[in-house]
Structure formats: structure tokens, C-alpha cells
Copies of this chain bind each other. A is one copy, B any other.
């Protein structure tokens, strides 16, 4: 792993555990096992380190999220694998990094930057999740639903899982949760 990734990996851990404002550059350096000054050779400043770390994490997250999913998978299988993969990542990163993402808007930025960031980040996030629904719709599996909305449902559920983990709960049966989410998303809640 190159130095820059080493730093982002350390930063990910610390940011995720403490949030942006409670994370000290020195602690990141300590966790990375390097000197404080070295951070500034790779990143302009704290905000830059945070931003790059988040996008680096997201890239990895979305790649991992699609692990094992193949083109032909039904929407059911796709979501099911999403959940399993998500829980897997949660356990690996040992933290609910997703929670940090909300921090994004709380970093001191100008209104314009916040706006721009949200545009980019939210679009990025939602569109990534929407993708699967759009594909399924194209395959004719789905009714004419609002795919973005479905993405938000899914994100809400994943957030709920993350929060449970954050509170210290152990995910005993990922398969069951995956089934419940998929079932509810697919068939709705009303009795026939």
C-alpha cells in the first residue's frame, strides 16, 4: 500500500470513530505511524484529507457493495447481496463510516462549497444505489416506481443497520435482515 493510502486508511478509522471535528491531525499521523508534518506532503489540509478519504472510501465501498453481484442477478438477489456486503464492510471497517458522511456538510465551508459538495456527493450516493433499481426496471422486473425513492428506502435501511452496529448491537443474522429488507421493498407491506 502506498503512503497516501496508508494515511487515508488511518484517517478513515479515526474520522469514523470520532467525527471530523474531534479528530486531530496528530492522531491520524500516530495511527498511520508517520510524522505530523508528512500529512501535509500528501494533502493540502485537514479538509482535503477528509474529502479525499471520504471519496476513496466511497469508491471502495461501492466496489465492495457490488461484490459477487452479476449482471443476471434478479433485483431480489441484488439487494440481498447488497445487504450482506454492506454488513460485511461494516464489520471490516469496525465502524459505521457512513455516519461520518453526514459530517460533510458540517465542516466549515462556504455556502457555495456545501452546495457543490452536496450536489456531487448526494448525487453520487443516490445514483449509485438507484442504479440497481433502474436496471431492474429496464429488465421489466419492477413497476413504474420512483427509483430514487427506492434508493432512499434502501439507504434508510442500511443506515438503520449501521446505527444498530454503532450502538453496539451485533448483527446476528445478516441473511434474515437481508430477506426482510428485500421482501419489504419488493412486495410492500399491505396484506395482499
Number of copies: 4
From known contacts A18-B106, A105-B99, A115-B167, infer whether A190 and B153 are also in contact, taking CB-CB under 8 Å: no
Q: Interface size (A, Cβ < 8 Å)?
A: 53
A128 located at the interface, meaning its Cβ lies under 8 Å from any Cβ of chain B in the complex: no
Q: Which of B22, B142, B180 contacts A190 (CB 8 A)?
A: B142
Q: Which of B22, B126, B149, B160 contacts A106 (CB 8 A)?
A: B22
Q: Tell me the nearest residue of chain B to A146, going by C-beta.
A: B180
A118 located at the interface, meaning its Cβ lies under 8 Å from any Cβ of chain B in the complex: yes
A175 located at the interface, meaning its Cβ lies under 8 Å from any Cβ of chain B in the complex: no
Residues of B within 8 A of A105 (CB): 19, 99, 166
Residues of B within 8 A of A166 (CB): 105, 118
| Interface pick from A28-36, A38-46, A61-69, A181-189 | A181-189
Residues of B within 8 A of A154 (CB): 156
Q: Which of A88-119 contact B (CB under 8 A)?
A: 99, 102-103, 105-108, 115, 118-119
Report whether B191 and A186 are in contact in the complex, using a CB–CB cutoff of 8 Å: no
A155 located at the interface, meaning its Cβ lies under 8 Å from any Cβ of chain B in the complex: yes
Top 6 A-B pairs ranked by shortest CB distance?
A: A156-B156, A19-B106, A188-B188, A152-B160, A21-B21, A102-B102
Extra A-B contacts (10), CB below 8 Å, given A149-B184, A184-B188: A21-B106, A22-B107, A115-B168, A140-B191, A142-B189, A143-B190, A149-B180, A149-B181, A150-B189, A153-B153
Chain A contact residues, CB within 8 Å of chain B:
18-22, 75, 99, 102-103, 105-108, 115, 118-119, 122, 126, 133, 140-143, 145-146, 148-157, 159-160, 163, 166-168, 180-181, 183-192
